[in-house]
Structure 1
Amino acid sequence: MTVLVLTGPKDATADLVIAELTGRGVSVHRLDPGEFPESLVLTARIGPRRPSWVGGLRGSHRDLDFGRVRSVYYRRPSEHRFHRDMSERDVQWAAAEARAGLGGLLATLDCTWLNNPRKNAVASTKPVALATAARCGLSIPETLITNDPDEARAFVGNLSGRVAAYKALGTQGASGIDGEAYALWTNKVGVAEIPDAVRLTAHQFQEWIPKAYEVRLTVVAGRMFAAKIHTSSEAALIDIRTDYESHTYEVCEVPCGVASGVRKLLGAFGLHYAAMDFLVDQAGEWHLIDLNPNGQWAFVPELRNPITQALADLLEGTP
């Protein structure tokens, strides 16, 4: 039996887990679905006398038998790649067929997923995550989603301090007119900074919470690994992702009430793993601002080994 790791060719985080599993003598098969169909051959059958799919993938160096997969670590697989001579229309059709074919067959694997990508997709939807977190008893910021600039200005004007955090609803990257990707960081906005162009799409505005520090909480099969994130950078005080060099980390405990809410939240989405971000205010209250079911975790040095081992335990099936 083997652990299947689905990720791209350069994933140092997945490498840590693969090394831990290999060191334990566990068979690991690393696979990037993006290599299909150019470098992988897919064959699987089902029928009246075979109620489950039988088959697998043949590669240039190693084959995968679907029936021998004990667990799946879904990390960061790349997009399917196709022959350069195919037209754009043919590529779009072929990509949809590849996702339905290979992705559909992988989805039938009856084993532990960390995490199932369909569950990741639901949990990554911010309006769903916030509503579910609130129902699970976690504190969340007052939040408005709108494309009405007047509603946005009224919302911000009624907040304490008359400022809000403006945050992207979808992925934290976007493409400009030239097609180049760029980051959409959190911004601190006042009433006068909200343009009429808000009407062009949905926007998210959240109560600005003056923080004492942030906490990155990583959860693996109910086990919690938390670290305070302190920063001395003005930019990182608004969005910690803008200046990682200014961070210092301090391992901390999770309050019982927060831990209970987090377990309920992950249970509601059926997740074995999640990385969560909290703002902790001056009174010590934890406010959930982000749930990432496939978030990074290796950047806190003191927690790198414990989280690696917890992930390997889950994938290996260790109690």
Structure 2
Amino acid sequence: MTDTRPVLVVTNLNDPTADVVIAELHDRDVPVVRFDSGDFPASLSLEAEITQDGIQGRLETPSRTADLDHVRALYYRRPTGFAFPHLDEQDARFAIAQARYGLGGVIASLECLYVNHPHFIGDAEFKPSGLAAAVKAGFQVPRTLITSSPDAARAFIKAHGAVIYKPLWNPVYQVDGVSCVVEIAEVTAEDIDDRVAGTAHLFQKRVEKTADIRVTVIGPRTFSVRIDSDLLDWRIDYSRLRYTPVPTPPEIELSLHEYMDHFGLHFGAFDFALDANGQWWFLECNPSGQWYWLEPETGLPMLAAMADLLERTT
């Protein structure tokens, strides 16, 4: 019997990764309803009733309708935020809150597979939580300080030598009309001044790495890729990267899935630093990270693995 339940894909209009996943699902005759929660209520409507049988109702876009009690999986990518530009500031703030807790609450309450659940994404995006979970899962984690104290920052740097600064979250800045982010950078004790007291900062002992490793976990499948470059942060210039698929050590495999289970994730993009002794050092896991660009570079069947997961064949 044909499974007619759709996969919901929640993302923005310009998401090439979602595009290829949807195309693959279409090729498999899997129904898909794509929408951006930021389109609510202009071109996305909601009707949901809480009953003894669960949530019933529908989401409607200009071209698709999804029955809320008839969803196979929900692929939560990168939707835009709610906006009510026609309202004054106070009314817009109220409307945004109602949309977040209304539509957002319904989206988070379906009886389906989430890749990933939006609440779990939020939990896993806190770097201190991720680092603590990584230690618990058995990963090697560089010594890390989170502080607003200039004295503590200087003492940490003096104790550990080479130390890097990382933003705890990376909002987009506009500089001369161009979007940019705060880059990871090595810091010295002399770089630290009283401005550190203005907010929280993350400092981490630098791993003397020979390469980086990106591990993409898609359901039960694990794809590890060695990334060679001369960059401290390989994400700042993709043209200087070389990719090599590598096996995932068994102990790393176990820790990956323990980490995923801790946060309730079905997808994760993990970053490791590889040192000269072959040790994998956990840096972070992005529960909404990019992954498809690696498939053309390596030939790894990552798209098929994601479609299998959403189709519920795994």
TM-score interval (norm. to shorter): over 0.9
| Unmatched segments (≥5 aa) in structure 2 | none
Partner residue, 2:101: 100
Q: Counterparts of 2:176 and 2:98 in 1: how far apart (Å)?
A: 29
Change over 3 Å in CA distance of 1:179–1:246 after alignment to 2: closer
Q: Counterparts of 1:200 and 1:174 in 2: how far apart (Å)?
A: 19
Partner residue, 2:77: 75
Q: Is the 8 A contact 1:276 1:290 kept in 2?
A: yes
Partner residue, 1:316: 311
Instruction: Give the Å deviation of 1:167.
Output: 0.2
Matched, 1:12 2:16: yes
1:164-206 deviations in whole A, cap 9, x for unaligned? 0100112x22547999853011011111111221111111100
Matched, 1:156 2:157: yes
For residue 271 of structure 1, the aligned residue among 245, 252, 265 is 265
1:207-254 deviations in whole A, cap 9, x for unaligned? 01111000000001121101111114xxxx221121111111111111
Partner residue, 2:130: 129
Change over 3 Å in CA distance of 1:305–1:30 after alignment to 2: farther
Counterpart of 1:157 in structure 2: which amino acid? K
TM-score (norm 1): 0.92
Q: Is the 8 A contact 1:7 1:31 kept in 2?
A: yes
Aligned 1:222-301 pairs, distance under 5 A: 222-232=220-230, 237-300=231-294, 301=296
Q: Counterparts of 1:21 and 1:59 in 2: how far apart (Å)?
A: 19
Q: Counterparts of 1:118 and 1:151 in 2: how far apart (Å)?
A: 33
| Unmatched segments (≥5 aa) in structure 1 | none
| Percent of aligned pairs with the same amino acid | 40
Partner residue, 1:168: 167
Q: Give the aligned CA root-mean-square deviation in angstroms.
A: 1.8
Following TM superposition, the consecutive aligned residue runs of length 4 or more in structure 1 with deviations greater than 3 angstroms are 174-182, 302-305
Q: Counterparts of 1:59 and 1:257 in 2: how far apart (Å)?
A: 45
Secondary structure of 2:265's match? coil
Instruction: Give the Å deviation of 1:89.
Output: 1.4
Aligned 1:2-81 pairs, distance under 5 A: 2-47=6-51, 50-81=52-83
Q: Is the 8 A contact 1:227 1:249 kept in 2?
A: yes
Q: Counterparts of 1:305 and 1:215 in 2: how far apart (Å)?
A: 15
Counterpart of 2:307 in structure 1: which amino acid? A
Alignment size in residue pairs: 309
Q: Is the 8 A contact 1:37 1:81 kept in 2?
A: no
Q: Counterparts of 1:111 and 1:44 in 2: how far apart (Å)?
A: 16
Change over 3 Å in CA distance of 1:303–1:110 after alignment to 2: farther
1:77-135 deviations in whole A, cap 9, x for unaligned? 111232x3311111111011001111111111111000001011111111111011101
Q: Counterparts of 2:175 and 2:96 in 1: how far apart (Å)?
A: 24
Partner residue, 1:306: 301
Q: Counterparts of 1:193 and 1:287 in 2: how far apart (Å)?
A: 26
Q: Is the 8 A contact 1:225 1:303 kept in 2?
A: no
Q: Counterparts of 2:166 and 2:102 in 1: how far apart (Å)?
A: 35
Secondary structure of 1:254's match? coil
1:275-317 deviations in whole A, cap 9, x for unaligned? 0000001111000101101100012124566111111101111
Task: Decide which moves more: 11-20 or 173-182.
Answer: 173-182
Partner residue, 1:214: 212
Q: Is the 8 A contact 2:46 2:58 kept in 1?
A: yes
